[in-house]
Protein backbone atom coordinates (compact mmCIF):
# COMPACT_ATOMS: atom_id res chain seq x y z
CA UNK A 1 0.00 0.00 0.00
CA UNK A 2 1.26 3.49 -0.84
CA UNK A 3 1.51 6.28 1.70
CA UNK A 4 -1.95 7.57 0.75
CA UNK A 5 -4.96 5.63 2.01
CA UNK A 6 -7.62 5.47 -0.70
CA UNK A 7 -11.21 5.46 0.59
CA UNK A 8 -14.57 4.81 -1.08
CA UNK A 9 -17.78 6.15 0.49
CA UNK A 10 -20.96 4.07 0.11
CA UNK A 11 -24.05 5.56 1.80
CA UNK A 12 -27.53 6.42 0.55
CA UNK A 13 -27.60 9.66 2.55
CA UNK A 14 -26.00 12.44 0.53
CA UNK A 15 -25.51 14.61 3.60
CA UNK A 16 -23.68 11.82 5.39
CA UNK A 17 -21.39 11.26 2.41
CA UNK A 18 -20.68 14.97 2.18
CA UNK A 19 -19.77 15.12 5.86
CA UNK A 20 -17.42 12.16 5.65
CA UNK A 21 -15.87 13.50 2.45
CA UNK A 22 -15.22 16.94 3.92
CA UNK A 23 -13.52 15.37 6.92
CA UNK A 24 -11.42 12.94 4.90
CA UNK A 25 -10.45 15.41 2.17
CA UNK A 26 -9.03 17.71 4.85
CA UNK A 27 -6.77 14.96 6.16
CA UNK A 28 -3.30 14.58 4.69
CA UNK A 29 -2.62 11.02 3.63
CA UNK A 30 -6.24 10.13 2.80
CA UNK A 31 -7.86 10.35 -0.63
CA UNK A 32 -11.57 9.84 -1.31
CA UNK A 33 -11.68 8.00 -4.63
CA UNK A 34 -15.45 8.08 -5.13
CA UNK A 35 -18.96 7.94 -3.70
CA UNK A 36 -21.92 5.62 -4.22
CA UNK A 37 -25.55 5.94 -3.13
CA UNK A 38 -26.49 2.26 -2.85
CA UNK A 39 -24.88 -1.14 -2.48
CA UNK A 40 -24.90 -1.99 -6.16
CA UNK A 41 -23.20 1.26 -7.07
CA UNK A 42 -20.83 0.67 -4.18
CA UNK A 43 -19.68 -2.70 -5.48
CA UNK A 44 -19.15 -1.20 -8.93
CA UNK A 45 -17.17 1.69 -7.44
CA UNK A 46 -14.96 -0.64 -5.42
CA UNK A 47 -14.31 -2.84 -8.45
CA UNK A 48 -13.38 0.21 -10.52
CA UNK A 49 -11.19 1.99 -7.96
CA UNK A 50 -9.97 -0.87 -5.71
CA UNK A 51 -9.62 1.39 -2.66
CA UNK A 52 -7.76 0.45 0.51
CA UNK A 53 -10.90 1.01 2.60
CA UNK A 54 -14.61 1.10 1.75
CA UNK A 55 -16.91 2.78 4.26
CA UNK A 56 -20.25 1.06 3.66
CA UNK A 57 -23.63 1.87 5.20
CA UNK A 58 -25.34 -1.26 6.48
CA UNK A 59 -28.86 -0.37 5.27
CA UNK A 60 -29.26 0.94 1.72
CA UNK A 61 -31.70 0.62 -1.19
CA UNK A 62 -31.16 -1.65 -4.23
CA UNK A 63 -28.52 -3.70 -2.41
CA UNK A 64 -27.79 -3.73 1.32
CA UNK A 65 -24.38 -3.05 2.77
CA UNK A 66 -24.23 -6.66 3.90
CA UNK A 67 -24.70 -8.03 0.39
CA UNK A 68 -22.27 -5.44 -0.99
CA UNK A 69 -19.71 -6.55 1.59
CA UNK A 70 -20.28 -10.20 0.70
CA UNK A 71 -19.65 -9.51 -3.00
CA UNK A 72 -16.54 -7.46 -2.31
CA UNK A 73 -15.13 -10.12 0.02
CA UNK A 74 -15.85 -12.89 -2.51
CA UNK A 75 -13.99 -11.16 -5.36
CA UNK A 76 -10.33 -12.29 -5.48
CA UNK A 77 -9.42 -9.07 -7.28
CA UNK A 78 -10.59 -7.13 -4.21
CA UNK A 79 -8.77 -9.20 -1.60
CA UNK A 80 -6.86 -6.15 -0.36
CA UNK A 81 -9.99 -4.01 0.11
CA UNK A 82 -11.11 -3.63 3.72
CA UNK A 83 -14.79 -2.93 4.38
CA UNK A 84 -15.87 -0.92 7.41
CA UNK A 85 -19.60 -1.02 8.08
CA UNK A 86 -21.34 2.21 9.08
CA UNK A 87 -24.35 1.89 11.36
CA UNK A 88 -26.60 4.07 13.49
CA UNK A 89 -27.38 1.36 15.98
CA UNK A 90 -24.15 -0.14 17.28
CA UNK A 91 -23.89 -3.89 17.67
CA UNK A 92 -26.99 -5.38 16.14
CA UNK A 93 -27.85 -8.31 13.91
CA UNK A 94 -26.89 -6.34 10.81
CA UNK A 95 -23.38 -5.87 12.14
CA UNK A 96 -23.03 -9.58 12.88
CA UNK A 97 -24.14 -10.49 9.38
CA UNK A 98 -21.69 -7.96 7.95
CA UNK A 99 -18.80 -9.43 9.95
CA UNK A 100 -19.74 -12.90 8.74
CA UNK A 101 -19.89 -11.55 5.18
CA UNK A 102 -16.31 -10.29 5.40
CA UNK A 103 -16.33 -6.81 6.95
CA UNK A 104 -13.20 -5.85 8.86
CA UNK A 105 -15.13 -3.94 11.49
CA UNK A 106 -17.77 -1.33 12.09
CA UNK A 107 -18.23 2.28 13.14
CA UNK A 108 -21.15 4.23 14.50
CA UNK A 109 -22.11 7.09 12.20
CA UNK A 110 -21.85 9.54 15.08
CA UNK A 111 -18.31 8.50 15.93
CA UNK A 112 -15.83 11.25 16.75
CA UNK A 113 -13.84 12.53 13.73
CA UNK A 114 -10.53 11.53 15.32
CA UNK A 115 -11.84 8.01 15.89
CA UNK A 116 -12.96 7.74 12.26
CA UNK A 117 -9.55 8.80 10.99
CA UNK A 118 -7.78 6.38 13.31
CA UNK A 119 -10.14 3.57 12.28
CA UNK A 120 -9.36 4.10 8.61
CA UNK A 121 -5.63 3.95 9.31
CA UNK A 122 -5.98 0.81 11.44
CA UNK A 123 -8.04 -1.07 8.85
CA UNK A 124 -5.94 0.12 5.91
CA UNK A 125 -2.87 -1.42 7.52
CA UNK A 126 -4.49 -4.83 7.80
CA UNK A 127 -5.81 -4.84 11.36
CA UNK A 128 -9.40 -5.59 12.27
CA UNK A 129 -11.41 -2.72 13.69
CA UNK A 130 -12.14 -4.63 16.87
CA UNK A 131 -10.35 -3.24 19.87
CA UNK A 132 -10.36 -5.41 23.00
CA UNK A 133 -13.19 -3.33 24.48
CA UNK A 134 -15.26 -3.63 21.31
CA UNK A 135 -14.52 -7.35 21.15
CA UNK A 136 -15.80 -7.78 24.69
CA UNK A 137 -19.02 -6.03 23.70
CA UNK A 138 -19.22 -8.31 20.68
CA UNK A 139 -18.81 -11.29 22.98
CA UNK A 140 -21.75 -10.13 25.06
CA UNK A 141 -23.96 -10.25 22.00
CA UNK A 142 -23.28 -13.97 21.63
CA UNK A 143 -24.95 -14.77 24.95
CA UNK A 144 -27.92 -17.10 24.35
CA UNK A 145 -26.70 -17.83 20.82
CA UNK A 146 -26.02 -21.58 20.66
CA UNK A 147 -22.91 -22.66 18.74
CA UNK A 148 -23.62 -23.45 15.11
CA UNK A 149 -20.81 -25.72 13.97
CA UNK A 150 -22.41 -26.13 10.55
CA UNK A 151 -21.64 -22.49 9.74
CA UNK A 152 -18.04 -22.62 10.94
CA UNK A 153 -16.26 -25.71 9.62
CA UNK A 154 -12.52 -26.16 9.86
CA UNK A 155 -11.85 -26.32 13.59
CA UNK A 156 -9.94 -29.56 13.07
CA UNK A 157 -7.48 -27.73 10.83
CA UNK A 158 -6.08 -25.75 13.75
CA UNK A 159 -3.20 -26.92 15.89
CA UNK A 160 -3.57 -26.87 19.66
CA UNK A 161 -1.65 -23.59 19.89
CA UNK A 162 -3.71 -22.03 17.12
CA UNK A 163 -6.91 -23.00 18.89
CA UNK A 164 -5.57 -21.47 22.08
CA UNK A 165 -4.65 -18.13 20.53
CA UNK A 166 -7.95 -18.02 18.64
CA UNK A 167 -9.83 -18.59 21.87
CA UNK A 168 -7.86 -15.85 23.63
CA UNK A 169 -8.44 -13.43 20.76
CA UNK A 170 -12.15 -14.21 20.97
CA UNK A 171 -12.10 -13.23 24.64
CA UNK A 172 -10.86 -9.79 23.68
CA UNK A 173 -7.13 -10.13 24.30
CA UNK A 174 -4.66 -8.19 22.16
CA UNK A 175 -1.59 -9.86 20.66
CA UNK A 176 0.52 -8.50 23.52
CA UNK A 177 -1.91 -9.88 26.12
CA UNK A 178 -2.04 -13.24 24.34
CA UNK A 179 1.76 -13.33 24.35
CA UNK A 180 1.92 -12.64 28.08
CA UNK A 181 -0.74 -15.26 28.82
CA UNK A 182 0.99 -17.96 26.77
CA UNK A 183 4.54 -16.84 27.67
CA UNK A 184 5.51 -16.32 24.04
CA UNK A 185 6.60 -13.27 22.06
CA UNK A 186 4.00 -10.90 20.55
CA UNK A 187 5.40 -11.79 17.11
CA UNK A 188 4.79 -15.49 17.76
CA UNK A 189 1.26 -14.72 18.92
CA UNK A 190 0.66 -12.71 15.76
CA UNK A 191 2.03 -15.58 13.66
CA UNK A 192 -0.33 -18.07 15.30
CA UNK A 193 -3.27 -15.71 14.69
CA UNK A 194 -2.26 -15.25 11.05
CA UNK A 195 -1.97 -18.99 10.48
CA UNK A 196 -5.35 -19.64 12.08
CA UNK A 197 -6.92 -16.97 9.86
CA UNK A 198 -5.35 -18.53 6.77
CA UNK A 199 -6.53 -22.04 7.62
CA UNK A 200 -10.07 -20.86 8.34
CA UNK A 201 -10.29 -18.51 5.36
CA UNK A 202 -10.89 -15.55 7.68
CA UNK A 203 -10.10 -12.18 6.13
CA UNK A 204 -9.14 -10.71 9.48
CA UNK A 205 -9.41 -10.88 13.24
CA UNK A 206 -13.07 -9.87 13.18
CA UNK A 207 -14.07 -13.02 11.32
CA UNK A 208 -11.77 -15.10 13.52
CA UNK A 209 -13.66 -13.94 16.61
CA UNK A 210 -17.02 -14.74 15.02
CA UNK A 211 -15.72 -18.18 14.06
CA UNK A 212 -14.56 -18.92 17.61
CA UNK A 213 -18.05 -18.47 19.00
CA UNK A 214 -20.03 -19.96 16.14
CA UNK A 215 -17.89 -23.08 16.17
CA UNK A 216 -18.19 -23.54 19.92
CA UNK A 217 -14.43 -23.17 20.36
CA UNK A 218 -15.20 -20.61 23.05
CA UNK A 219 -18.16 -21.06 25.38
CA UNK A 220 -20.03 -17.87 26.24
CA UNK A 221 -20.55 -17.26 29.91
CA UNK A 222 -24.23 -17.51 30.68
CA UNK A 223 -25.05 -19.49 27.57
CA UNK A 224 -26.84 -22.76 27.96
Q: If you average pLDDT over each of 35-44, 110-119, 184-193, which comes out highest?
A: 35-44
Higher pLDDT, 72 or 113: 72
How large a percentage of the chain has pLDDT more than 90?
29
Q: What is the pLDDT of residues 121-167, one digit of tens each?
A: 877 776 665 554 555 555 555 544 554 555 555 678 888 899 898 88
In terms of Cα–Cα distance, which of 135, 109, 106 is closest to 16?
A: 109
Give the whole-angstrom CA distance, residue 104 versus residue 36. 19
Does pLDDT of 95 surpass 50? yes
What phi and psi values does residue 19 have, to the nearest 5 degrees? Answer: -65, -45
Does pLDDT of 201 surpass 60? yes
Q: If you average pLDDT over each of 171-175, 193-197, 198-202, which comes out highest?
A: 193-197
Determine the pLDDT at residue 11.
Answer: 93
Q: How confident is the model at residue 224 (pLDDT cuts 50, 70, 90)?
A: very low
Amino acid sequence: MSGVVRVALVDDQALMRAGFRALLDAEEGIEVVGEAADGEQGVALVREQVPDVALVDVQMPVMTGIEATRRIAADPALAAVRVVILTNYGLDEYVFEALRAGASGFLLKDTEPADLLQAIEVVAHGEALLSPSVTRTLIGEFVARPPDRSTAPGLDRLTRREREVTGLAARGLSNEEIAAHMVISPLTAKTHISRAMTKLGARDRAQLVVFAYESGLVAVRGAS
